[in-house]
Amino acid sequence: MLLDSIDPGIIVEETQRIALILSQSENTTLRRAGDRMLECCSFQRVYKCTRENGAYFPMVRIWKCGKRGCLICDRYRCNQNIYKLFDVFKEYELENIKFITCTFQYKVRPHELREALDKLSGCLTKLFSRKMTKCITGGFKALEAVCDYQGLLNPHCHMLLHFKGEDLTSDRNVLRFIASDDCQDAIFKYSLNSGKSVDDIKKTIFWFLEHGIFHQLIWSALFKSVGLGAICKIESVDQGSAAEVAKYFTKTWTVPDEYLCDVFIAIKNKRLTTFFGDFKIKQGEEVDENPVIKTEYMGTSEDVIRLGLATDSPFELSVIHQLSKRGLIKVNVLDVPVLDSEGWRNLSEEMRIEILNRP
């Protein structure tokens, strides 16, 4: 489930629930994390910005605690990953990008999660160090661990991998692996379960190799050879499915209350999402069409609301409008006579539209 599909109010409530549990922990680090998450839920800061042309516009910025497991901050990270992936897709053909999921064959307890994530990362490092995976130029991987009602977690990894698209039928490393016991066992088991002949399966495998990608059976054997479980799925991607991949992270709202502290200790300082190879984003110099010259802190959204409802300043009225538009506050216009102030009415229609349309 994408965090964007969840009501913002529910996200705040769930984050507050998680933060309260952490703040009551005996662990000092978890208590501090819980306190910062509570602040993240409650303080939206408003700034008054001046641009080169002398125009003012309100900017509402949520104060982010940056903690893993904070749904507000995780929502921001998910959106950032989605935007980065969309930028990457502009440079590559989506036909050569595959969505692959790998997992362990067993579930773990919350106190075993950190060890399992370390093992998962080590297995993936071993996988991509093999010579036959040199046909992968880059990708994006994200670790996830969803908790069930019994408190068991299934650590797994979702990956977007880009292949060169070159013919692999003559690659010695690939051919050597296909002839290995791991790959031959996977082919024979699939033949028994599907009823297809081994020759037909090998023809399908080589058809995939001609197009420069690995068949699912090769992936299954590869994962088994480095200590991982069977593959969950492999499929092509488009921008919609890429957004689904980018949202993955440890879903703390699925964790029962009694296991939350163990999960937070497990994911502390863990890198759950990674761009690698050609997918690695290099920060370029971006030129803002309307650069901000000066930023003035006005206070929290609560402070600005009190100020804005007691003034006839067009700027402060536009701040109230933006806060209401973003769902941070609810204002009944009929109950706020200041919105019909003389100063606001005296502005030209063009000026009103300009103020209300500012970001």
Terminal C-alpha separation, the chain: 28
Q: Does residue 1 register a pLDDT over 50?
A: no
* 30-47: pLDDT as tens digits: 998 888 888 776 666 777
The better pLDDT of the pair 89, 314 is held by 89
Cα–Cα dist 234/328, whole Å: 40
- pLDDT (0 to 100) of residue 287: 44
Q: Does residue 334 register a pLDDT over 60?
A: no
* 293-313: pLDDT as tens digits: 777 777 776 676 666 666 666
Neighbours of 175 (CB within 10 A): 14
* 74-112: pLDDT as tens digits: 877 887 888 888 888 888 888 888 888 888 878 888 888
Cα–Cα dist 6/173, whole Å: 46
Q: For 37-41, 84-88, 127-131, 354-358, which range has the lowest pLDDT when averaged over its residues?
A: 354-358
Rg (CA), the chain: 26
- pLDDT (0 to 100) of residue 269: 83
Q: Does residue 227 register a pLDDT over 90?
A: no
Cα–Cα dist 307/236, whole Å: 53
- pLDDT (0 to 100) of residue 289: 52
In the predicted model, what is the mean pLDDT of residues 237-261? 74
- pLDDT (0 to 100) of residue 231: 72
- pLDDT (0 to 100) of residue 178: 92
Neighbours of 168 (CB within 10 A): 22
Q: Does residue 206 register a pLDDT over 90?
A: yes
- pLDDT (0 to 100) of residue 166: 87
**Residue 356 one-letter amino acid:** L
Q: If 0-12 CB within 10 Å is exposed, 13-18 middle and 19+ buried, where does residue 12 land?
A: middle
Cα–Cα dist 146/156, whole Å: 9
Q: Does residue 286 register a pLDDT over 70?
A: no
Where residue 333 falls among pLDDT bands split at 50, 70, 90? Answer: very low
Pairing assessment for the beta strands 233-236 and 273-277 based on DSSP bridges: unpaired
Sheet strands (E) in the chain? 44-51, 56-62, 97-103, 136-147, 153-163, 233-236, 273-277, 292-300
Contact yes or no for 27/52 (Cβ under 8 A): no
